[in-house]
Structures are given as structure tokens and as C-alpha cells.
């Protein structure tokens, strides 16, 4: 048996874990058809770990859903498959490519894959009849997220109305929805980027290799270092060169920048994050840069 603390003290990481597990169990008990939105990124991996712990030794009682932009990093897809295999959960892949072919979303050549994910995701939620979708959003990420509830109500169009949010008190979550509506659930709302890394380090769980320092051919665009790729043809004046880099977030590879870094272990990453002077999204996410309210606007439309 494991000895617990004699002074009944729980570290902040244990408290965050306990809160998140409570949320997972609450949703599994109260919603008919939950799903976990799994990108293969570090936040969704922490969610998977928490879900694993919440229901152990039973399997996670809901499927995981990945929105495949067609521009995902192969390393991320490999990690996704390992997690899904190990936990024996059902994986549903909603493909942006397929959504474009089916006319569900329109690729006008200007809209990013990130934005096309919204329609693809909402269609997958509707088609499968999901009533609750877990997302890995954290409140420290961005201003609009700082005000979002753990249970975030979406109307039948998948929209978020920041002015009509339900009050959320104590640990009493209100999961009432009408036909056609669904709830986004953010079980790691109160975790910070540093907490995520501390937890990954403590739990010793697998994350995609691109989070660690590696050699990669990259080029500069809009102040970001992007990966050279067939999906991301070089424009006039852009030159690719090999650098030592790692990714702070993973998303659509045409929009997700990397940072120059030699951090090749979790403690080194924690060290780097602790002294970072720029938010992870500000540094490396083209999708959040378009306006001060970029995230708020995408969230209203039904983004993660």
C-alpha cells in the first residue's frame, strides 16, 4: 500500500488531477454520449491520462475523436495510435479532406485548415450524436479562454455565446442541454503550461517526439519558423535551412511554428517553459494572430 501524506496535504498537481478526474466522472455519469477530442498534442495526452485514471481498471467509457487536417505531423499521428492501442479505446477520425469533398466545408484556398476544422468537427459531433465533447483548452492560454466555463454550452449550431454563460459554482456542474445542443467540457481548465509539463514528467507518459529538440529543415514566415513540407510550398524569397528546434504546440503544420531549442528532456523543457517570455500560442500559432479577438471569434463559431 502507498502511504499518503500524514499531514493530509495534497500537492497542487494532485489537487488539479483530483479536480479533473472528478469532471471526467461527472460527465461520464450524466451525459448520454460523450467523446474526447484528441489531437495528439500534450494537452489532449494529459486528458487521456486523466481519463485513464478516472475509470481504471475499466476502459475509458467513450470514444476519442480526432479532426485530421490532412496537414498533421506524422510524429503526432504515431503517438495518437500508440495511445489509442494501449488504452483500447475507439478512435473516430473526422477528416477535413473528406469534409471538403462532401461539401461540408469549403476550401477557398484562403481559409486555413485550422478554421476548416470547425465545420468538420461540428459535423462529426452532429453525425455521431455526441452530447459532450472533452477539449484540452486551458484558461491560461488566452484571454477568451480565461472566462470560459468548465462546462461550456453550445447551441444547435455549435456556437458559444460568451454573454450567456451559465454561472458555475463550487464543483457543481450543470450538464442540461436540449436536443441538438452539446456541451464542451474542459477538464484541464485550471492547468497551466508548466503544470502540463510537470505532470507529463511525473507520469512518464508518451508525447510526440517533435516536442523535443531535433534537427529540422525550417523557413521563416510571418515571424515564425515553419517546417518545410509538401503542404507548405516555399514562397518567393523564403529559404529553408536546417536548425535545431522543437515545437511548443502541435497543430496544422502549415501554421504551427517551432522554436530554436536544445531541450531534449522533460526537465529541460520545464526549465525552458519556466523562463519563456512569450506565450506558447503567441510564439507559434499563426491561427491566433489574426486579431486580438481571434480565439474568441473562432470559439463563438464552435472551435475547440
Site for another protein in 164-183 (CB under 8 A): 165-172, 174, 176-178
DSSP letter for each residue of 243-291: EEEE-SS-S-TTTB-BEE----SHHHHHHHHHH--S-HHHHHBGGG-S-
How far apart, in whole angstroms, are the C-alpha atoms of residue 267 and residue 28?
34
Q: Does 296 interact with another protein (rule: CB under 8 A)?
A: yes
Number of residues in contact with another protein under rule CB under 8 A: 72
| Least distance CB 64 / another protein (angstroms) | 19
Nearer to another protein, 84 or 105 (CB): 84
Q: Which is nearer to another protein, 100 or 194 (CB)?
A: 194
159 binds another protein (CB under 8 A): no
d(CA 231, CA 71): 7
Q: How many residues does the chain have?
A: 304
Residues 108, 233, 237, 277: which binds another protein (CB under 8 A)? 277
Q: Pick from 113, 139, 184, 246: which binds another protein (CB under 8 A)?
A: 139
Of 101-109, 116-124, 252-260, 290-298, the segment contacting another protein by CB under 8 A is 290-298
In whole angstroms, give the CA distance from residue 73 to residue 76.
5
| Beta carbon of residue 209, minimum distance to another protein (angstroms, whole number) | 22
Could you tell me if 221 and 238 are in contact, meaning their C-beta atoms sit under 8 angstroms apart?
yes
271 lines the binding site for another protein (CB under 8 A): yes
Q: Is 8 one of the binding residues for another protein (CB under 8 A)?
A: yes
Asked whether position 301 contacts another protein by CB under 8 A, the answer is no
Residue with cell 456541451: 183
How far, in Å, CA of 131 to CA of 180, rounded?
8
User: What is the arrangement of strands in the sheet containing 259-260, beginning at the earlier edge strand?
Assistant: 224-227, 214-221, 241-246, 259-260
CB of 55 to another protein, least distance (A): 6
Write out the binding residues for another protein, residues 200-239 only, by CB under 8 A: 201-202
CA distance 194 to 19: 17
For another protein, the binding residue among 98, 190, 209, 220 (CB under 8 A) is 190
Q: Minimum distance between the CB of residue 98 and another protein, rounded to whole angstroms?
A: 33
CB of 253 to another protein, least distance (A): 22
Handedness of CA 21, 27, 33, 35 (dihedral sign): negative
Query: Taking the CB of residue 292, how many other CB atoms lie within 10 A of it?
Result: 10
* Rounded least distance, CB 216 to another protein, Å: 23
Amino acid at each position: 500500500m502507498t502511504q499518503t501524506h500524514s499531514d493530509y496535504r495534497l500537492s497542487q498537481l494532485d489537487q488539479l488531477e483530483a479536480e479533473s478526474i472528478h469532471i471526467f466522472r461527472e460527465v461520464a455519469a450524466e451525459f448520454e454520449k460523450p467523446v474526447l477530442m484528441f489531437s495528439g498534442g500534450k494537452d489532449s495526452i494529459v486528458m487521456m491520462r486523466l481519463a485513464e485514471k478516472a475509470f481504471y481498471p475499466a476502459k475509458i467509457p467513450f470514444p476519442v475523436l480526432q479532426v485530421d487536417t490532412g496537414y498533421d505531423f506524422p510524429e503526432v499521428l504515431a503517438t495518437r495510435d500508440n495511445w489509442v492501442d494501449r488504452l483500447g479505446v475507439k478512435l473516430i477520425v473526422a477528416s477535413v479532406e473528406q469534409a471538403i469533398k462532401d461539401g461540408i466545408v469549403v476550401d477557398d484556398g484562403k481559409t486555413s485548415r485550422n478554421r476548416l476544422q470547425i465545420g468538420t468537427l461540428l459535423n462529426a459531433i452532429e453525425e455521431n450524436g455526441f452530447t459532450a465533447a472533452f477539449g484540452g483548452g486551458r484558461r491560461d492560454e488566452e484571454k477568451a479562454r480565461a472566462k470560459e466555463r468548465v462546462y461550456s454550452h453550445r447551441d444547435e449550431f455549435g456556437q458559444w455565446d460568451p454573454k450567456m454563460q451559465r454561472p458555475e459554482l463550487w464543483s457543481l456542474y450543470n450538464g442540461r442541454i436540449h436536443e441538438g445542443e452539446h456541451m464542451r467540457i474542459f477538464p484541464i481548465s485550471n492547468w497551466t503550461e508548466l503544470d502540463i509539463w510537470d505532470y507529463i514528467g511525473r507520469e512518464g507518459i508518451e508525447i510526440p517526439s517533435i516536442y523535443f529538440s531535433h534537427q529540422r529543415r525550417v523557413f521563416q514566415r510571418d515571424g515564425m519558423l515553419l517546417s518545410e513540407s509538401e503542404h507548405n510550398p516555399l514562397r518567393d524569397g523564403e529559404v529553408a535551412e536546417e536548425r535545431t528546434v522543437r515545437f511548443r504546440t502541435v497543430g496544422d503544420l502549415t501554421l504551427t511554428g517551432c522554436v530554436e531549442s536544445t531541450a531534449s528532456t522533460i526537465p529541460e523543457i520545464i526549465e525552458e517553459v519556466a523562463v519563456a517570455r512569450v506565450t506558447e500560442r503567441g510564439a507559434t500559432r499563426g491561427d491566433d494572430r489574426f486579431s486580438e479577438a481571434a480565439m474568441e471569434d473562432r470559439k463563438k463559431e464552435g472551435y475547440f
